[in-house]
Amino acid sequence: MSDVKDAPGAQAGTPTIRCFNGINSAQQKQVGGVSFTPDCNGAVNNTWFVEFINDAFSVYDKQTGNVVGNRVSDTAFWQAAGVADPSLIVDPRIVFIPDAGRNGQWLAVQINIGYRVLVATTNPNDPTADPRVGNWKGAAFDLPGNDFTMLGCDLNGVYIGVNYGGPPVPGDDRWPQIAFIPRAQALAWPPQLGDVKVTGPLPKNEYGDNLFPMIDRSRAGWPYCTAIGVDTATNRRLTFSLISPQFGTILSHGTIDVPPFVPVSRGYRVKQPFQNSNVMFDQTGIVAAPTGGTGFDIWAAHTVLNQQYNSLAVRWYHLYIDPVSRMPGLVASGDIFQQSYDHFNPSILSLGKGDYTIVCLSRSGDYSTPQDPNNPACGNLGAYAALVRENGSGGGTYTVVPLKAGQVGNYVTQGTAIRWGDYSTICPDPDPRFPRRVWAINQFVLQGGDTTSQWCNAIASIDLT
């Protein structure tokens, strides 16, 4: 599993990267009333990129990067979609489904934390698949104790994972739940949520942290959806659960042996070029969707601790699916890391077996790293991508390239230490003219200082040769 890495910022496969700014923390506060961890989330179709983060919804012309229409708060988005009382909403997810409706369809999910899940779709008969506010209809279903939305989908349905945040189980109050909605009901306009089947809460020591349903891109109509979790009881396994769309429940589950890993302890302060960073990282599970390829494969990633350098590393996995049993197993894995740097908050997508796997991630460096954002080795907290090529030994080689380096090295959270965004997002461009183009959204530091620090989202297209 040993990975070979290139110098930070070195080019591999000569990717062409085009990046424009999304919303920043000052604009988020202006739109939504607060400046809060953004949880970078977005999706793309042939015309638009939609950015849906905590407290803000924005649509961009993907060719120019210009905002289309007005940014609105996430509360205003759900109100416009017809959902009453969207209060205490966090952790949005959005996907574009190219084979739904006349020309593809958008699907958005967010939680009223603790008690309800909100679902919205665009008009399946709209040939332009226009995602601007006013073109969505929404609905909601009750789900007690929910926290941290995890969205997957396939030809059979939509699968929503949440962690159970209700009355604590002694020593462990983060048990997973999975909600299944048949595809026709989930993608109706508005969604028809009378047939939601919920499985759980499920014991985390058996089903794993953040049991995340995969996004299946094979369009094969498999009889099960696979959800992947992280087994932090042994720190040497992933978990899997096979969800039956016929019965709307988990029919089988188990574990996949992987190389041992060390979870990140709560309250870890990420490295920055100035020494007293108060930016925290607090996740041990999978925070972005596992993605399926065009065949029997799944790619997933999470953040681990590299004990050699006492830094954060991104662990990636390539899993296969047995075509008969549907049981997954490990093909290859590796860690993305480097001395003096933290790598974290990954999202992952592969161009196909034997081709590039692209990991969108956050990267930051300690006081020994350069602060010049034009230096490929910049240590300012920013948005990056790792281009991974597997090798025959079960590992791979990778190169880390900047999407948008942090502009300064002294980002400070206001008041108490808070998290950098919990996740990034990566997705394929559905335009058939660009089969080797992917899109990613993540944060970078825009300004620094005790009272003037701001983050900004970077929205980037990555073209692989």
- List, for residues 156-182, the tens digit of each pLDDT value: 999 999 999 766 555 566 899 999 999
Q: Are residues 404 and 311 in the same domain?
A: yes
- The reply to whether 299 and 334 lie within a common domain is yes
- pLDDT tens for each residue of 304-342: 999 999 999 999 999 999 888 889 999 999 999 999 999
Q: Does residue 334 fall inside a structural domain?
A: yes
Q: Is the domain of 278 the same as that of 217?
A: no
**d(C-alpha 443, C-alpha 445), whole Å:** 7
- Considering the domain architecture, whether residues 172 and 196 belong to the same structural domain is answered as yes
260 class by beta-carbon count within 10 Å (0-12 exposed, 13-18 middle, 19+ buried): exposed
Same domain, 324 and 377: yes
Do 335 and 397 have their domain in common? Answer: yes
346 in a domain, yes or no? yes
- Enclosing domain of residue 323: 1-37+264-465
pLDDT at position 1 over 50: no
User: Pick from 372, 378, 396, 371: which is nearest to 386 by CA?
Assistant: 396
Final residue of a domain: which of 192, 226, 257? 257
One domain, residues 461 and 377: yes
- Indicate whether 322 belongs to any domain: yes
What is the residue-averaged pLDDT of the chain?
93
Please state the three-class secondary structure of 199-238 as a single string.
ECCCCHHHHCEEEEECECCCCCCCCCEEEEEEECCCCCEE
pTM as predicted = 0.95
Helix (H) or strand (E) holding 28: helix 25-32
If asked whether residues 280 and 226 sit together in one domain, one would say no
**Residue 114, by phi and psi: left (phi above 0), alpha (psi -120 to 50) or beta?**
left
Among residues 222, 257, 292, the one where a domain terminates is 257
Per the listing, tokens 């808070």 go with 418
Are residues 185 and 203 part of one domain?
yes
Residues 252 and 282 placed together within one structural domain of the fold: no
- pLDDT for 429-448, tens place per residue? 999 999 999 999 999 999 99
- Within-domain flag for 95: yes
Q: How many domains does the chain have?
A: 2
Q: How far apart are CA 347 and CA 463, in angstroms?
A: 17
Q: By percentage, how much of the chain surpasses pLDDT 90?
A: 82
Domain for residue 54, yes or no?
Answer: no
Domain boundary among 257, 272, 289: 257
pLDDT classification of 465: cutoffs 50, 70, 90? confident
**For the segment 232-290, what is each residue's pLDDT rounded down to a tens digit?**
999 999 999 999 999 999 999 999 999 999 999 888 999 999 878 899 998 889 999 99
